Structure 1
Amino acid sequence: MKFLEKNILIVGSVWPEPNSSAAGSRMMQLIDILLASRCSITFASTSGTTDHMADLNKFHIKQYQIGINDSNFDSFLAELHPDIVIFDRFMIEEQFGWRVADTLPGTLRILNTEDLHCLRKTREYCFKKGREFTVSSLLSEDITKRELASIYRCDLSIIISEYEISLLKNVFSIKDTLLLYLPLLYTPDTINQNKEISGYDKRKNFITIGNFRHTPNWESVLHLKKKIWPFISKELPDAELHVYGAYPPPKATQLTNSKERFYIKGWTNDAHKVMSEARVCLAPLQFGAGIKGKLLDAMRCGTPSVTTTIGAEAMHGKYPWNGFITDDPQDFTKKACILYTEEHLWQNAQKAGFEIIKDRFNRTKFEDSLITAIDNALLNLKENRTLNFVGSMLSYHSLRSTKFMSRWIELKNKQAED
């Protein structure tokens, strides 16, 4: 393990909730790698604290609540004087990137994308309009222009999916020096648990899991309720479907129906436990982007899954899926029933999941690449910025237009207070 030993500020719109979402888990993975590299970390967020947020005090991370369109952030930044600022999602870079560039021009700026929001949002738009997603539809969206501009303005962007890396390089012609592929990562001690994992006979029922505030998850639950579960429940009259996830709204909890054996369970303190008790995980995602944490958790727990092409995107590489991939509701139902009832098939699927996790999401294979990429970006900061003319041009205009707009909003807010 290399040692970076830098002072890092992470700016996020929300506090990390590792038990609520893959994004929260991802942020804690990044923090853990940076701490292991002897970095000191400060986390600042524009949101209030939550019941499910990680205990950052346990990691000796300083925490600050900050405001949008507030020049106090400039003073905070100047006093902290970080070597590196990490923006969690491009909307945060839009709000605070120009302030970092203005106050500390020599500070390295990194964008943590989580997933490409433009890809997820465009797929959602196409889904709701009944249109087929194409790259041309992605090119026409304003959110694509915004997110790509943010990537260009930053010195390095962390990308979670191989598909998204390919898209950025081959469609948008973004240089390698600006991008780092870093999937969700798991330590060997969390993936080498095969002997401790329950077998087929000790498991029952189906499970799906995901933060209800994340639109792809909600649409997936509705798809299960309307088009898939009625047929599975008919074929398997003793099986139940348990739906877990943080922040279930009333419209979700009202879907519970004991006669249909469809249960909205909501928040769980131990996602690993409930996943390990289920026999099959269902994830009929209709749109989305990035890497699906729920499906990786299923693999870690030895729980085979049935998902869609979107769900499995960029996850299994050369390996067979740990179950089935299908986009047709009738075929999805059929495959789910087969996986649930055929023990030998189930066991092979479980083994496939273990192989995917060990080879493609093993932290030991990737953690040095993060530190090396940051170190190289720091060493070549001036040269890389000179060669990144598009980024320089966008920063030039952003610094002026966003700066003056933010100053104007700040002034209006102060006048309203007076």
Structure 2
Amino acid sequence: MSQPATKILVIGYVWPEPRSSAAGGHMMQILDCFLRQGWDITFSSPATTGEHKADLAALGIHERTIELNSSSFDDFIRELAPDIVLFDRFMMEEQFGWRVEQQCPHALRVLETSDLQSLRDARQQRLKEHLKNQPDCDDFQALFTPALHEEFQLMAGTDLAKREIAAIYRCDISLMISNVEIQLLTEHFKVPAALLHWFPLLVEAPTAAFTPYEERAHFLSIGNFRHAPNWDAVLWMKNSVWPLIRQRLPGARLHIYGAYTPPKATALHNPAQGFHVMNWAEDALQVMSAARICLAPLRFGAGIKGKLADAMLCGTPNITTPIGAEGMADTQPWPGLIAESASALADAAVALYQDPQAWTQAQENGRQLLAERYAPALHGAQLVQRLEQCRRELSQHRRTNFTGSMLRHHLHKSTQYMAQWIEAKNRAL
């Protein structure tokens, strides 16, 4: 008699939009790994549906809208009785973790971090302070090159880091998209390696020929405008990087694509300057494949960058910063150029744009990097193996994580009472 399929419950911060953000794409890659195992998946979220939401039902994934601060979730999860619960970002663990533990204590609790939000936020604050003190600065080497112990010092006093890392401790396994962030957590925050699993973006290395240099033109930048690092990069391009490129390539155009384009972004559209704000791309890979260079001048951020993985997939060399390249290549050759100032980024962009030989080599570097580091079959199998092993050894795994048990006890009690108070208050209204 066959065993029943493993039941998975995903509690999403938002409904996944794989064509709007790397986070949405990564969630779909996780779901695909589970589907390939024949697992029974339910995706739930308290969020409203976005305009680019993936059709989960068409994939055989059950969908369920849930409520914050409502005991209706208790009835739902108790009836579902999942074997594994995946929290999409730490805020969902804070909201629903105590309910999951109360109703399904033997379910494996997994956290999808997407990236370390506390690291991204700390870097953003550092950039703001830097610009406040040096408003005309265009060289950010000091921001791009701190050692991990300096990043730790930057983060350690923040409430966001305490919340996020506490959630990592409270879960049985946390999925980390960047091995650099694993190093930061294990070496400086002293998070046990047994609680972390490296699961980067999954991209099958292309085998077909790329669109060649001669058939491409212009520059492209892409990214969800709701993501603060992307908007900051657009402003830096508009004010500093792009004018330097246009001085030397007066006929060049920059096409900027992104979901949820706000009026402040469309106001930057200026064809006379070759600066084109294009809104959302129906087919991001198609427009990426037509561009000669992908620009990603990120001044802060965390995790690894979906736009750069897409550029490699399309054979489009990129120009980025150390923040953009962080955690993506290890020791492999970079598929483009990395620079730390507006003038250096412009120099790199112009040089690569005009050098067919260097451009073609960068293109092939991207293909090789995808093959060596982002193979879906390898990482998918390792994830499934890790989850199944942890389920088999769950009691011992949790005994060795006393800190997590202690944090669950204290936070979940306070969260439980607050949620119950809010629910009672809402009923009285």
**TM-score, with length taken from structure 1:** 0.96
The sequence identity of aligned pairs, in percent, is 46
Gaps of 5+ in 1: none
* Contact 2:203–2:313 (8 Å) recurs in 1: no
| Aligned mate of 1:160, from 177, 183, 189 | 177
Partners of 2:162 and 2:4 in 1: CA distance: 33
Given the superposition, is the C-alpha separation of residues 364 and 222 from structure 1 closer, same or farther in structure 2, using an over 3 Å criterion?
same
Q: Equivalent residues in 2 for 1:284-323 (5 A)? A: 284-323=297-336
Offset of residue 4 of structure 1? 10
* Contact 1:18–1:28 (8 Å) recurs in 2: yes
What's the secondary structure of 2:42's corresponding residue?
strand
Partners of 1:247 and 1:338 in 2: CA distance: 32
Partners of 2:249 and 2:392 in 1: CA distance: 60
Aligned to 2:206: 192
| Aligned mate of 2:362, from 314, 338, 349 | 349
* Contact 1:4–1:371 (8 Å) recurs in 2: no
Partners of 2:282 and 2:161 in 1: CA distance: 36
Partners of 2:299 and 2:388 in 1: CA distance: 39
Aligned to 1:117: 117
Q: Equivalent residues in 2 for 1:253-292 (5 A)? A: 253-292=266-305
Partners of 2:113 and 2:43 in 1: CA distance: 17
Provide, for residues 53-77 of structure 1, a one-character-per-residue CA deviation record: whole Å limited to 9, x for no partner.
Answer: 1000111111111111111000001
Aligned residue-pair number: 410
1:49 maps to 2:49: yes
Offset of residue 176 of structure 1? 2.0
Aligned to 2:345: 332
Offset of residue 194 of structure 1? 3.6
RMSD: 1.2
| Aligned mate of 1:142, from 150, 159, 179 | 159
Offset of residue 48 of structure 1? 1.5
Offset of residue 129 of structure 1? 1.4
| Aligned mate of 1:233, from 243, 246, 259 | 246
Provide, for residues 239-273 of structure 1, a one-character-per-residue CA deviation record: whole Å limited to 9, x for no partner.
Answer: 10000010010000110001101000010110000
Partners of 1:75 and 1:174 in 2: CA distance: 33
Provide, for residues 346-390 of structure 1, a one-character-per-residue CA deviation record: whole Å limited to 9, x for no partner.
Answer: 111111111111111111221111011101110111111111000
* Contact 1:4–1:37 (8 Å) recurs in 2: no
Moved over 3 A (4+): none
Aligned to 2:86: 86
Offset of residue 399 of structure 1? 2.0
* Contact 1:321–1:353 (8 Å) recurs in 2: yes
**TM-score, with length taken from structure 2:** 0.94
Amino acid across the alignment from 1:352: N
| Aligned mate of 2:389, from 369, 376, 394 | 376
Amino acid across the alignment from 1:20: S
Amino acid across the alignment from 2:163: R
Offset of residue 139 of structure 1? 0.7
Amino acid across the alignment from 1:33: C
* Contact 1:158–1:181 (8 Å) recurs in 2: yes
Gaps of 5+ in 2: 132-142
Offset of residue 201 of structure 1? 0.2
What's the secondary structure of 2:14's corresponding residue?
coil
Q: Equivalent residues in 2 for 1:17-28 (5 A)? A: 17-28=17-28
